[in-house]
Amino acid sequence: MTAKWIATPNRTREILDTYNIFFKKSLGQNFIIDVNILNNIIQKAGIDKNAGVIEIGPGIGGLTEQLAVNADKVLAYEIDQRLLPVLENTLRAYENIRIVHQDILEANVNEMVKQFFSYEQPIHVVANLPYYITTPILMKLLRESLPVNSFTVMIQKEVADRMAAEPNSKTYGSLSIAVQYYTEANVVMHVPKTVFMPPPNVDSGVLKLTRRQKPPVQVDDEDYFFSIVQACFAQRRKTLRNNLKQHFKTADKVKISEALDKAGIDGARRGESLTMQELAVLANTFYQLYK
């Protein structure tokens, strides 16, 4: 049976040759050719026969196949029309997969979840995401309040580290805050470039995001909070006071100092030293004083 798995070097090459498929760099296509890696990802994601899974970018079906074996149902979004007949063939033995030909960034995922999965079924996102569009995809899915328990995604290692970063580290920034506002983030695996065809230029990380029941901080306005977070990290070498002065172009130094004092935060600090709680206090203070 193992020899027939899609995610092996020989089978992947055979499928690509049969369908005359070439890799599209514009779509970030790098196919995994190691079944053990895929099964490790599925194990880290906590997938079992009760689970419904959403996959993004199934490619030729390597991960999709392993998900179909381990999960109850798999809903996979594929943007590349060339791959639809390939997937129809490679996955024809599995009746628990639905392939949707649509850009995930434009899809009404909530509606499809209602149609395809059972009521109150645990749902997880498991995907090998294209590097070039990782952040927009994850932020769309996180902000749409999908009924998803967790997201386990293979992404560029550097980006995975940034999303899971803690304060006072070089990788901690506005992306860390945005992701950790909605989820608990952990890098659960590192994956070498050698298990892909073609090999990408960098190594990958598997990031597991577990959905929070509610955000860890209370903010008066989410959009305003995220705008203040962006401002605090706008130029990492600058102090909070200078970054905020640049953000509030019409506000004078006195008003900014006043808000920082009221929030109890030293304006000489830099963004990476602030916890999410401190950023929430800062954002709420500015919102109440000047919005």
Which residues fall in the annotated binding site?
Answer: 30, 32, 57, 78, 103, 128
Cα 267 from Cα 285, distance rounded (Å): 14
Place of tokens 């830099």: 270
- First and final C-alpha spacing in the chain: 63
Q: Binding site residues for S-adenosyl-L-methionine, as ranges?
A: 30, 32, 57, 78, 103, 128
- Return the sign of the alpha-carbon dihedral for residues 35, 36, 39, 41: negative
The closest alpha carbon to 61, from 104, 4, 110, belongs to 4
* Crossing angle of the two packed helices 222-232 and 276-290, in degrees rounded to 10: 110
80 contact partners, CB below 8 Å, separation of at least 6: 24, 27, 29
**Cis peptide preceding 198, ω within 30 of 0:** yes
